[in-house]
Amino acid sequence: MLARARDYADLYLVNAKTAIIGQFQYRLANLMFLVHLVIEPLIYLIVWTNVAEAQGGSVGGYTASTFAAYYIVWTLVRQFNLSLSPFSFEWRIKNGRLAGELLRPVHPIHYDLGFFLGIKVPYVVYWLPAGLILWLIFRPVIELTWWQVAAFPVALMLGFLVRFAMLWLLGLITFWTTRVSAIFDLFFTLELLLSGRLVPLELMPGWAQDIAAWLPFQWAFGFPIEVLIGRLAPDQIVRGFAIQVIWIAVSYTVIHLVWKRGIKHFTAVGG
Amino acid sequence: MLRGLKLFGLFARISTLNEMQYRANFFIQLLQSFISLGTGLAVLAVVFSYTDNLHGWSGGELLAVMGVHILMGGIMRTVIQPNMGRLMEDVQEGTLDYALTKPEDSQVMVSVRQFAIWAVVDVLMGIIVLVWALVSIGNRTTLASALLFVVAMFLGAVMIYCVFLMFTTLAFWFVRVWELMEMFQSLYQAGRWPVGIYPDWLRAGLTYLIPVAFAVTVPAEALTGRLTPQTILIAAAFTLVLMWVSRAVWKYGLRHYTSASS
């Protein structure tokens, strides 16, 4: 049992290292990726700053500097919760790459998870200068308490695990149909609207917030942001952790079940 | 010029005939266009639940900006992006030789080979949204402003093409330019809002580095009676500059091109 755990740890470590070394090679690509990352929240931030100013300084309790804090932390959360895209999953199945991966003795999800845990290191390193520049331009206001600082990494990590599981599960649909891009698009649109990515969920209409409460999206995106910028009380944070853990448990159980059925369904294409 | 257009017509017909075999792609495109339209409308609805104007633009006027944005995006994805994507692939695979050895001008040749018929869905949807917006703000369109709009759209499309060509030409030096295209796409998203809302440094970038302002905001200004004669003159002059520069960059890139394989 202990030896097995050590094997898994080694596996994760090797995959993480490969990801780190691989990603640091592409400096120019990383730079452009950062522009790509920053421009989206920048647009939202400017639009909402305009709205806040037109409304005499604040919208729904958010001022220009709270919006700035929200969308700057947004960029870090976004960098951190990047996961295997279901489009890559589709590619892997269409190209028959999965056939080779199935021959390994370990479930493929471990390779992916190790890789995406490792890639956080270069992603966060490259994020630092971007975060700093945004900070200097937009002057956000965050009043930090020790428990916010302590809770943020936990919320961030659990959030990543929620999102990773959702996207992996989504990728599994490719076992049954290969016309998946429209389904993926629909998913990402729902995520955009109901996760806090587009706008803090508090600003969405009440009915949309009610729907969002029953979906996992906000626990991977809006929740960690709100933890750090101080929109939540300690008991709300603890409750959030619990919901994150529940979503993780549910989605990994579903992955386990779907995977077993899907693998029987799978026929390799190409080689 | 005329020969270029004829060539374009021919290639467009071939691409279309070819693509007609895969009709399911049409419905996928339609669905995707509807999803993105729905998202855009939802965003406008949320913003305008808190305010009734954004930097002097009303909700209906911003809907017009969105229509122009979808329309220009459709033009880009129908005729510009597919050609530039093919060009990039050709540079990577070393198959660009086949285009270069044709007797036609090389720049014309690489710019007219592809035509993505299904992206026309976005062109139509953009027009529908635009008409809907104009009706909702109480149609003030005169013949003059409609003409100005067409001119501004044309200039904007040419500018987008020139910048796209310059970016793609970088593929001669750096092979991985897909990230650059991604960046271009996300910067284009900034055009969903009138560039006036952005801080100066960003507005300058969106005007002269990536001409999103000229491609989307200016045509929308033409339709909502905001366009000054100076703006359209600057747009025309800047278009000429970009045409000249992109041509020079293309020629320069071509001199550096050595077939990569076989």
**What is this model's ipTM?**
0.86
Q: How far is residue A252's CA from residue A109's CA, in Å, rounded to a whole number?
A: 10
Chain A: give the shortest CA distance to residue B38, in Å. 9
Under 8 Å between Cβ of B217 and B188: no
Question: A269 Cβ partners below 8 Å, 6+ apart?
Answer: A93, A94, A95, A96
Domain that holds residue B132: 2-256
Across the interface, whether the CB atoms of A51 and B199 are under 8 A apart is answered no
Reported confidence tier of residue A14, pLDDT bands at 50, 70, 90: confident
Under 8 Å between Cβ of A99 and A180: no
Inform me whether the pLDDT recorded for A270 exceeds 60.
no
Identify the residue with better confidence: A77 or A86.
Answer: A77
CA B237, B187, B151 angle in degrees (round to 5)?
35
Q: Report the pLDDT value the prediction gives residue A271, as an integer from 0 to 100.
A: 43
Across the interface, whether the CB atoms of A182 and B183 are under 8 A apart is answered no
B262 inside domain: no
Mean pLDDT value across chain B: 87
Q: Select the residue of B187, B193, B199 nearest A47 (Cβ to Cβ).
A: B193
Q: Distances from the Cα of A81 to the Cαs of A40, A78, A161, in angstroms?
A: 16, 5, 8
Task: Give the model confidence (pLDDT) of B86-102 as tens digits.
Answer: 888 888 777 888 778 88
Percent of chain A's residues with pLDDT above 90? 42
Q: Report the pLDDT value the prediction gives residue B42, as an integer from 0 to 100.
A: 92
A270 inside domain: no
Across the interface, whether the CB atoms of A32 and B180 are under 8 A apart is answered yes
Q: Select the residue of A40, A46, A182 nearest B189 (Cβ to Cβ).
A: A40
Q: Report the pLDDT value the prediction gives residue B248, as an integer from 0 to 100.
A: 94
Chain B: give the shortest CA distance to residue A163, in Å. 21
Q: Report the pLDDT value the prediction gives residue A267, as an integer from 0 to 100.
A: 62
**Number of domains within chain B:** 1
3-state secondary structure of A180: coil
List residues of chain A with CB under 8 Å from any CB of chain B.
26, 28-29, 32-33, 35-36, 39-40, 42-43, 46-48, 50-51, 54-55, 59-60, 179, 181-182, 185-186, 189, 192-193, 198-199, 203-205
Q: Distances from the Cα of A69 to the Cαs of A66, A72, B183, in angstroms?
A: 5, 5, 24
A271 inside domain: no
Q: How far is residue B6's CA from residue B257's CA, in Å, rounded to a whole number?
A: 27
**Number of domains within chain A:** 1
Q: What is the mean pLDDT of residues B221-232?
A: 90
Task: Give the model confidence (pLDDT) of B42-77 as tens digits.
Answer: 999 999 999 888 988 999 999 999 999 999 999 999
B261 inside domain: no
Nearest to A28 by CA among B203, B91, B182, B256: B182
Domain that holds residue A218: 2-265
3-state secondary structure of A85: coil
Q: Report the pLDDT value the prediction gives residue B175, as an integer from 0 to 100.
A: 58
Residue A12 sits at φ, ψ, to 5 deg, of -65, -40
Chain A: give the shortest CA distance to residue B69, in Å. 15
Q: Report the pLDDT value the prediction gives residue B262, as an integer from 0 to 100.
A: 45
Mean pLDDT value across chain A: 86
